[in-house]
Amino acid sequence: MTLRVALIGHGFMGAAHSVGWRQAPRVFDLPDDVEMTVVVGRNADAVARSAAHWGWQESATDWREVVARDDIDIVDIVTPGDSHAEIAIAALDAGKHVLCEKPLANTVAQAEAMAAAAARAAAHGRKAMVGFTYRRVPAVTLLRDLVAQGRIGRVQQVRAAYRQDWLVDPRSPLTWRLTKEGAGSGALGDIGAHIVDMVQFVTGHSVEAVSGTVETIVARRPLRAAGPGGAAGYGDVTVDDAALFTGRLSGGALVSFEATRFATGRKNALSIEVSGDAGALRFDLEDLNTLQFYDRTAPDGLQGFTKILVTEPTHPYVDAWWPAGHMLGYEHGFTHQVVDLVRAIVDDTAVHPTFAEGLSVQRVLAAVEASAAQDSAWVRAGAPVGAPGR
pLDDT at 390 over 50: no
The predicted model gives 186-199 an average pLDDT of 97
Hey, is 337 helix, strand or coil? helix
> What would the pLDDT profile of 92-101 be if each residue is shown by its tens digit?
999 999 999 9
CATH, range 136-326+363-370: 3.30.360.10
The predicted model gives 49-64 an average pLDDT of 98
Element (H, E) at 365: helix 355-372
pLDDT at 386 over 50: no
CATH, range 2-134: 3.40.50.720
Residue spans in the chain of domains classed CATH 3.40.50.720: 2-134
Quick one: DSSP state of residue 354? B
Q: How confident is the model at residue 224 (pLDDT cuts 50, 70, 90)?
A: confident
In Å, how far are 213, 354, 378, 379 from 368, measured between CA atoms?
A: 7, 22, 9, 7
Give 182: exposed, middle or buried? Use CB within 10 Å, 0-12, 13-18, 19+: middle
| Predicted pLDDT at 6 | 98
> What would the pLDDT profile of 350-362 be if each residue is shown by its tens digit?
999 999 999 999 9
> What would the pLDDT profile of 276-310 be if each residue is shown by its tens digit?
999 999 999 999 999 999 999 999 999 999 999 99
Q: How confident is the model at residue 225 (pLDDT cuts 50, 70, 90)?
A: low
Residues shown for the chain: 390
The predicted model gives 217-232 an average pLDDT of 75
* Torsion angles phi and psi, residue 70, rounded to 5: -75, -20
pLDDT at 40 over 70: yes
State the DSSP string of 146-184.
Answer: HHHTTTT-SEEEEEEEEE--TT-STTSPP-GGG-HHHHS
Percent of all residues in the chain with a pLDDT value above 70, rounded to a whole number: 96
- Is 0.85 topped by the overall pTM? yes
Residue spans in the chain of domains classed CATH 3.30.360.10: 136-326+363-370
Q: How confident is the model at residue 382 (pLDDT cuts 50, 70, 90)?
A: confident
In whole angstroms, what is the distance from residue 197 CA to residue 360 CA?
9
